[in-house]
Each structure stands twice: as structure tokens, then as C-alpha cells.
Amino acid sequence: MARNSRNKEDLNLRHVVDAQFEEAAALLKEPRGLLEQIKQCDSILQVNFPVKFGNGISYFSGWRAEHSHHRKPLKGGIRFNPHVTQDEVVALAALMTYKCAIVDVPFGGSKGGVVIDVRQYKEADLQRITRRYTSELISKNFLGPGVNVPAPDMGTGEREMAWIFDTYDTFFPGGIDNLACVTGKPVSQGGIRGRKEATGRGVHFGIRQAFRHTKDIQALGLDPGLAGKTVSIQGFGNVGFHCSRFLWEEGCKIVAIGEHDGTIHNPDGFNIVKLAKYRKSHGTILGFPGSKTLLDPQAALTIKCDILIPAALENQITLANVDRVRAKIVAEAANGPVTPAAEKKLLRRGVYIIPDIFLNSGGVTVSYFEWSKNLAHIRYGRMERQLESVRGDRLVNYLESARGRAIPQKDREMLIHGADEEDLVNSGLEETMVNAYEEIRSTFKRRKKVSSLRCAAYITAIQKICTSYRALGIFP
């Protein structure tokens, strides 16, 4: 059991997820056997495999956890990180099960990980490692369009997903649905537009929906709407960058951003596009013009702001620093960034926490769209976009004739624009996040003894999974 020796706090993510599950389960009148079936991980594969580099051979360890088979296939990312453990992979697989249920995506939860520091290897070496890990999953039937469908996670991206697909395609040549064996692929290899931004965009949609509830937001001493709200973000990777960009475009002031080498702060806010260009050219966000540099990577967690977004790793807000958190809303873009003990302190202080199992589910939602696209073998919007454009053009011409004057060109282009694949993906993602937030908020407001939005989210997930098992005839 991993513990913080100073505060005697359990930081094992698997224990945390199980404790959060039990808090919600205690409020439900479900058979204990059914609850145990949902809680426990169905299976875990551990692999140890060699890879040859030049004249030497290196050995690597990895896992793939299948948490729940109540829906198939199973879904979950693959993490390349030197600190990956079996417990972490199992916990993340469980979170995937609950996320999929909350956003009504018909998958069971899974997760994979390989113990590796990707910064220590060349691209060619990473490709060998990824392909060998993939072959291990295939040989144990832990990968396939109808079995288990991975996606990117920490340390992996479109490149690795393309390698996984190609390896699977080599094992099963001519398989008509092979593209659906993995999501998060490049668009040129069956990926879907909007997938790279999906988790960050989902965070933006979730936060924006919370700010549409006037009474909830006013109770925090804030005005409805995102314009002018101050935001501090820990993590400027894929999720952190995209959610900060979307919030900035909506009028938020991004006043602080923390990365592994330090934190930058500017009370007037950052131009996120310029900051991204600066990082690309300098290899760091530190030293960005107009910012104050703080060498503490965790400083972003304690800077005064309206919205704090932990978008890095688990166990970032703990008993060691929770008393220094000065945000009114904590929006969990990462998995498990707030420990249970720290959460209790924040809730007692009136801090509103938007939980990870809802807020960062944008990635799996759009992965579902990509998987569906691969099975359908047709790009979204291909059949209807031109028809929509023609109808829009006719409508605009009619309006101009009726008004007796032309519609400005910018407005005309917007009105006649037919929805393309990315438009449809973003629309579907927003609809999903809005509906899911309203559902868990309703549970939070309606049910007695529900202490937090997180507990409400777990209740929502557990009830849906119970319904699935009963429909299968496994439980009465």
C-alpha cells in the first residue's frame, strides 16, 4: 500500500477508486453479489517480452486489464510510462467502465500500460516495442474490433495507434473490420477528425455546462458564463493544451500553467496560441514573455483562480497541499488528481468538484465515433454535406430576396456551410457531455445523502451497469 508517510494518506489509485465505488454502492439497494461483480476486475494480462536493439536485448513489462465484460468490446488507452504499475492499470480500467456507462458509450472498461520512459528511445526502437507489445495482446486475445479496442494515453498517440493497427492487420490480413481494432489513429489510417482534441474539448463542454446553472454558480460567488473567469491549469500536454485553448477562446483568462519543469503565472492571462508556438520553438513554457516563472511544477495548484484544472497525473491535490488550494471549482481533467481525504476538505470548504469519471470522458466518446466509422466504412458527413449546403444556399437566396438586401458574406458562408465530419463529431461530443452532466447533477440534487457530484456520477454508472447485467439474465 503506497502511503504518504507524513499524512498517512493512501495514494494507491486502485484503493481510491474502490473506496469511491463503495461510497456510492452503499446508497443503492442492489445485491452485494452484483455490486462485487461490477467492482472487481474481470481479468488482467501481464506480459514480459524481449526486444532486440543492435547486438543487445532489452526486456519490458506491461499489462492489459479487462475490468468489465457487461458490454463488448472493451475500451481503454495504452500508457507508456516508467511508473506504470498493475494496480494503476486495473484502477484506470475500472474508471473506463464507469466513464463509458456515464456517457452511454456501449463499451466495457479496459486499460493497458508498458513500463518505459519514451524519452530514452528512438522512434524506430519505440516502434519495435509497440509492435511486440501488440503481438503479445493479439496472441492472448486481448485485442480486436469486437474484443478489446485500445486508444492513446500518456506517452502514446496517433503514431503508436497506427503501428498497433498495422501489426494487427499483419496478423489478420484482409479482415474487413481491422481498422476498428484501435482508435486514435491518424485520419489517413482510419482515424476521425476531432479525436486528438476530444478529451480537452470534452473538458471545456463539461465546465461550460456547469456554468449554465445560474444558482449553482452564484452559490460559489461567481457569475454564470465562462467569460472573464480565471483558470489555472496543471499540465500542458494534449488535454491541458486543448482545454486551455477552448476556454481561452470563450473568454477565460488562463492565469497559470504548470508543467514538469515549473509553472508560469500572469494575472492578465496568456495567449494560448502564442504560448504553444513558444513551447514548440523553445522546448518549454518557462520564460514565456510577460510571465513570472515559478520553479515549482505544482505551483499552478495553489494560485488563486476561479477554476483549477489538474490535467496531469493522479494524486496531485493531497493532504500535503489541499489547504493551499484557492480555487472555487476544481475540474478534474486528469484521472484521480484529488485524493479522497483532500476532496473531503475541499467539499467542506464549499469547493465544487467536477469529477474525472465524467469530465475527461470526451476521448472515449469520440473513440466510439471512430470505432463506429471504421465498422460502417464511410466518413461522417460524406453523404449529406453537399445537400445541406445546397439547401442553405437556397434559403439564403430566399431571405435576401424577401429582405431586399444582401446578407453579409461571413454570415452567408456560415448559413450555407454543410456539416463535415469534425462538425458532426464536435456536435455529438457536446450533446453527450451536456446530457451526462445533467444526469449526474440531477442525481446529486435529487438523492439524499449524496455528498458530491463524484458520488452521483458513480451512482449513475453503477445503476446503468446493473441494468445491463440484468438484461443479460445474469442477475435477477
Rounded to the nearest integer, the mean pLDDT of the chain is 92
What grid cell was written down for 346?
Answer: 475541499
Question: Of the CATH numbers 3.10.580.20, 2.60.120.10, 3.40.1440.10, 3.40.50.720, which one belongs to the domain with range 198-362?
Answer: 3.40.50.720
Residue 241 has pLDDT above 60, yes or no: yes
Residue 349 has pLDDT above 90, yes or no: yes
The CB density around residue 352, as the number of other CB atoms within 10 Å, is 20
Provide the β-strand partners of residue 78: 112, 152
Confidence of residue 475 (pLDDT cuts 50, 70, 90): confident
Homologous superfamily (CATH) for 42-180? Leucine Dehydrogenase, chain A, domain 1 (3.40.50.10860)
- Determine whether 406 is exposed, middle or buried from the number of CB atoms within 10 Å of its CB (0-12, 13-18, 19+): exposed
Residue 323 has pLDDT above 50, yes or no: yes
CA separation for the pair 164, 161 (Å, rounded) = 5
Confidence of residue 1 (pLDDT cuts 50, 70, 90): very low
The amino acid sitting at 172 is F
111 belongs to the catalytic site: yes
More confident: 168 or 10 = 168
360-370 mean pLDDT: 96
pLDDT at residue number 3? 42
Q: Are 429 and 201 in contact (CB under 8 A)?
A: yes
141-170 mean pLDDT: 96
Model pLDDT for residues 35-46, shown as the tens digit of each residue: 999 999 999 999
Q: Does 186 sit behind a cis peptide bond, omega within 30 degrees of 0 on the bond before it?
A: no
Per annotation, catalytic residue among 75, 99, 111, 196: 111
Domains 42-180 and 198-362 share a fold: yes
Residue ranges of the domains in the chain?
1-40, 42-180, 198-362
Percent share of the chain, pLDDT over 90: 83
Confidence of residue 5 (pLDDT cuts 50, 70, 90): very low
Residue 7 has pLDDT above 60, yes or no: no
Q: Are 388 and 369 in contact (CB under 8 A)?
A: no
If you search the block for the grid coordinates 480555487, which residue do you land on? 327
Q: pTM above 0.85?
A: yes
More confident: 8 or 436 = 436
Model pLDDT for residues 178-234, shown as the tens digit of each residue: 999 999 999 999 999 999 999 999 999 999 999 999 999 999 999 999 999 999 999
